[in-house]
Chain A
Amino acid sequence: MSTLLEMSGVSVSFDGFKAINNLSFRIGEPELRAIIGPNGAGKTTFMDIITGKTKPDEGRVLYGEKSLSLLKMSESQIARVGVGRKFQKPTVFEAQTVRENLAMALKNPRGPFDVLLYKKTAEGAARIEALAEEIGLTAELTRPAGELSHGQKQWLEIGMLLAQEPRLLLVDEPAAGMTPTEREHTTDLLRRAAEKHAVVVVEHDMEFVRRLDCKVTVLHEGSVLAEGSLDHVTQNQQVIDVYLGR
């Protein structure tokens, strides 16, 4: 398992408030990692930093074999080198159909002229069908995404993430708004993705995390409080105090 992403000594403050405090983190490929922590621990901000949405005040974020510095890259460049993200609040293109949403995410050249001259291919169509099947939206392919339920939008986001075929998948609270069966399906899906790629999952739901059956990182006040197996971290007194005990 080689290191895919390495973050070291990263800090971010918003108006003097340190949301991320000297955070270090590394993930290999393939690897599945769960991140837990109380509200406001900085989990989403952590993903914002990797994807280029938030620029940290200090620290390094290195990615891939060539150790690219993600901090020097724009959001779209970061996405193109293989970092994909599912947002905490599902943000799909509501005015466009499920199919259009998936097609936009599909791994293909991203330049304006590539896209202008893009011709639909049978493979692309098949890939969309397969993804729709996977996320249970086959019947909704022609519906505008804005009509979907919250849970379906979550699925669409997951589908768009998979469509990009990223090497590093950042998945922020995938299970919110899902039924127990759907949650099981989601864990299966993430574990399957983690057979080849690096997957980071943020979740509050302990059962969900238990089923992921992977190494867990506990974030608190912007830095790592504990790291290890779920049983290991849940026995940690500090973790119980700040997160589980409430």
Chain B
Amino acid sequence: MKQGLLSRNPSILWFLAALGLFTLGITVLSEATGTGLISTSFVKTLGKTLCLCLIAIAMDVVWGYCGILSLGHFAFFGIGGYAIGMWLMYARTEAIVAESLAASPIPPTAQEIIDATGTQIFGVVGSSDFPLIWAFSHSLTLQLLMVLLFPGLLALVFGWLAFRSRVTGVYLSILTQAMTLALSLYLFQNDSGLRGNNGLSGLQNIPGFEAVPQSQISIAFFWASALALGLGYVLFAYVTSGKMGSVVRGIRDNEGRVRFLGYHVESYKLFVFTITAIVSGIAGALYYPQAGIINPAEIAPIASIYLAVWVAIGGRGRLYGAVIGAAFVSLLSSWFTGGGAPDIPLGFYTIQWVDWWLILLGLSFVAVTLFFPKGIGGLFDYLTHVKTPFRVGDYGPDKGALRQEEGHEQ
């Protein structure tokens, strides 16, 4: 099987080699493990970028291969982040509380520690009790399970409802936007149990590793993100190749015809939607400890739209295209919005990139959609001289016209 997978997808080896080299390069240049040419914060940026690449390939599978333009996958990313964030916040706060209470004359009971931890965590939203949703937050294992379960279950239920009633195209996109909007509005509420608009913070401090400097933690997360991206790439290359890939692309191009071949299209969509949601959740769980904070604004509908823009610019329908798009656009975006790009004084007006970057991005998106539908990834076709001749549409006689005589050979 492995052999077949690689021979069908030569891009896997190239991708893994490139990712390996990149990881090695950053390792050698980082503060903790190398020369220190690259700052810890930049290592974090790169690690986060790898997580964004991971959700981008998930998006590419669901949109580029299966034809479901989901504009809600960042919700799953955020949920993954919240799931791991709950454990990070709980465990760390508990450790701090236990330490401070240990100094008191009477040793605290376990319940006292939990109560004090609750007060610490939920004080900002005027509460002190742990809501039900935090029931597993004391356990890393359980909370890691939630990283998979929460996005997976939400995708399963949402997808089942939507696909079963055969909602497709733009209506489905709107539904997914509504889903992520509803989730983010819900989380904004103080009584949502997840600290409202404060979100979860201090996530960069890993419980049990307080003594380890951030430079080392950052490179560890960078490695983990690279590993996850590599595994995700292989997983999705497997899903989108062979017979499964054939059916999935068939659904994208003509789902009705796939049905008449006997395939239950809804199950396939549900499978793709759910598995990509789970991978998005994993990406989020790796991203937010590097970001340090998660709040409901991360799940805003616009985030999922950006995701679609990355994939479109990178080139959908090819996994490495999604990686390139996500890495290129998100890094460029942080360069522009982080003040990296110098302002351009025009005399009468100064172009400040913080404001103008989005307009530039929007224009690029329009340009790519109109002129380079294959995106940046399409450039590789020139390199490898893969011509993809395409003949879509009906070139023969239109329908079988009424004929009462045999046709004659020309």
| A interface residues with partner B (beta carbon < 8 Å) | 38-39, 51, 53, 74-77, 79-80, 85, 87-96, 100, 103-105, 110-112, 115-116, 118-120, 144, 146-151, 153, 160, 164, 173, 175-181, 183, 204-208, 244
Question: Shortest Cβ distance from A135 into chain B, in angstroms?
Answer: 16
7 tightest CB-CB pairs across the interface, nearest first?
A150-B396, A176-B400, A79-B262, A173-B400, A75-B259, A146-B391, A80-B262
* B window 1-41: CB within 8 A of A: 1, 4
Closest Cβ neighbor of A181 among chain B residues: B409
Shortest A31–chain B CB gap in Å is 22
16 examples of A-B residue contacts, CB within 8 angstroms: A38-B402, A76-B265, A79-B260, A87-B257, A94-B253, A94-B390, A95-B390, A110-B264, A112-B264, A115-B243, A118-B242, A146-B392, A164-B261, A176-B397, A176-B401, A207-B405
**Across the interface, do B395 and A119 meet the contact criterion of CB distance under 8 Å?**
no
Bound-state CA distance A133–B217 (Å) is: 61
The reply to whether A105 and B261 form a contact with Cβ atoms under 8 Å apart is yes
Task: Decide if B396 touches A76 in the complex (CB within 8 Å).
Answer: no
Determine chain B's interface SS by DSSP, over half rule: loop
CA distance A177 to B396 in the complex (A): 7
* A206 and B404 in contact, given A150-B394, A150-B395 (Cβ under 8 angstroms): yes
Summed over the interface, the residue pairs from A and B with CB atoms below 8 Å come to a total of 140
Complex contact A207–B400 (CB within 8 A)? no
Known: A95-B253, A146-B391, A150-B397. A76 touches B263 (CB 8 A): yes
- What is the bound-complex CA distance between A39 and B400, given in angstroms? 10
Interface residues of B (CB under 8 A from A): 1, 4, 239, 242-244, 246-247, 249-250, 253-254, 256-265, 267-268, 271, 388-392, 394-397, 399-409
B contact residues around A80 at 8 Å (CB): 262
Let me know if B400 and A93 touch, CB within 8 A.
no
What chain A residues lie within 8 Å of B260 (beta carbons)? 51, 53, 75-76, 79, 85
Note all chain A residues with C-beta closer than 8 A to B396.
90, 149-151, 153, 176-177
Most chain A CB within 10 A, of B244, B392, B407, is at: B407
Within 8 Å CB of B404, what residues of A? 204-206, 244
A224, chain B: closest CB distance, angstroms: 20
B403 contacts which of A51, A151, A204 (Cβ < 8 Å)? A204
| Contact call A39/B402, Cβ cutoff below 8 A | yes
A120 neighbours in B (Cβ, 8 Å): 4, 242
Interfacial chain B residues near A181, Cβ < 8 Å: 409
Name the CB-closest residue of B to A145: B391
Minimum Cβ distance to chain B for residue A62 (Å): 20
Chain A: minimal CB distance from B240 (Å): 11
- Is B391 touching A104 in the complex (CB atoms < 8 A)? no
Q: Is the CB of A110 within 8 A of B262?
A: yes
Shortest Cβ gap from B365 to chain A (Å): 24
> Is B389's CB under 8 angstroms from A147's CB?
yes
In the complex with contacts A94-B392, A112-B267, A205-B405, A76-B243 CB distance below 8 A = no
